[in-house]
Amino acid sequence: MPKTKIACAIFAGNIYGMNFPPDTEQNYFFYNGKILPIENFSAKLTEGENIIYEVIRVKNSAPIFLDDHLNRFSHSAKMMNYNVNLNEIKFGIYELLKANPVDQKNFRLMYYSSTENNGYTLLIYFIPSRYPTADEANNGVYLETLHAERHNPTVKFENKKIRAIANEILAKHQCYEVLLVDHDGFITEGSRSNVFFIKNNALVTAPDSKVLGGITRQKVIEICSKLNINIDFRCLHIDELVNATGCFITGTSPGVLPVKRIDNRYFSSIPDIVRELSAQYEGLVEQCIHNWKNKNESSSNSK
């Protein structure tokens, strides 16, 4: 067997069964200050306790809304009493994208306590990424509900139990996402997204205290403020679904994505407001790419 195939075989064995495996088509990852070849990656690197993390989208080799993600990461670190070095993290992201440029891909930023590297581990690696198809973006996606809730929703903390159950539902029903419903029957958020409903010509979404404040969600809220679109910050009860006229989810990969069905509740059409919010959001993404390119070109020219 050729050497390259041996390396791939060993690598595949190391990552089997991981919740968040690396994208094996990429060449490098960042680990505790170093860029390493992807063949050196193993599942053991991700098996820490009290993991905080971010998933950040890259488009045209530019990390989208990086500062917003790092601000949220800092909040999670503070809640876990972690003393993170944001300059080290920015350096790792910059070096990874320089060594491994990508057209469009998500990477996972992980930080947790360990016995190595002065008591912590910093890991940044690309993950398999799925973005909405043209049909999903145009016609909406199918969601299922799950009665579960996060105990500390404002911290981006790895909840392996909810993730495992959600993955089972995704596989069983072939749905796009799973919505979490609390013990009182209120819909809070998606397993990896935030959710907005349309009811009485206004948007309805959970208050900040009930959810992990997604970056895309925050951008949508800012767009709504600019366009004078009313938002009712409350959790929608599952019994209210019958009176909702539309729904969309927000997240790193889906962006602003319309929903056509939740369990057995079908929405007859995609409201125009969802199309408008999606277009406005994509404009912010393009501006983010432009700013990143200009910033790094200026830095290169000044050296």
| Pair (84, 141) in one structural domain | no
Structural domain contains residue 214: yes
pLDDT in tens, 249-265: 999 999 999 999 999 99
Q: pLDDT under 50 in the chain at which residues?
A: 1-14, 16
pLDDT, residue 3, reads 31
pLDDT, residue 137, reads 97
The phi and psi torsions of 290 (rounded to 5 degrees) equal -60, -45
Structural domain contains residue 82: yes
Q: Which H/E stretch holds residue 258? A: strand 255-262
Burial class (CB in 10 A: 0-12, 13-18, 19+), 272: exposed
pLDDT, residue 186, reads 97
pLDDT in tens, 144-175: 999 998 877 767 766 778 889 999 999 999 99
Residue with tokens 């029903």: 173
The angle at the Cα of 22, spanning 20 to 24, to the nearest 5 degrees, equals: 145
| Pair (169, 69) in one structural domain | no
| Pair (169, 31) in one structural domain | no
Contact between 268 and 261 (Cβ < 8 Å): no
Structural domain contains residue 285: no
How many domains does the structure of the chain reveal? 2
| Pair (118, 198) in one structural domain | no
DSSP state of 157: B
| Pair (145, 217) in one structural domain | yes
CATH of the domain at 61: 3.30.470.10
Q: Can you give the residue range of the structural domain that contains 54?
A: 3-127
Whole-number Å distance between alpha carbons of 47 and 55: 17
| Pair (165, 51) in one structural domain | no
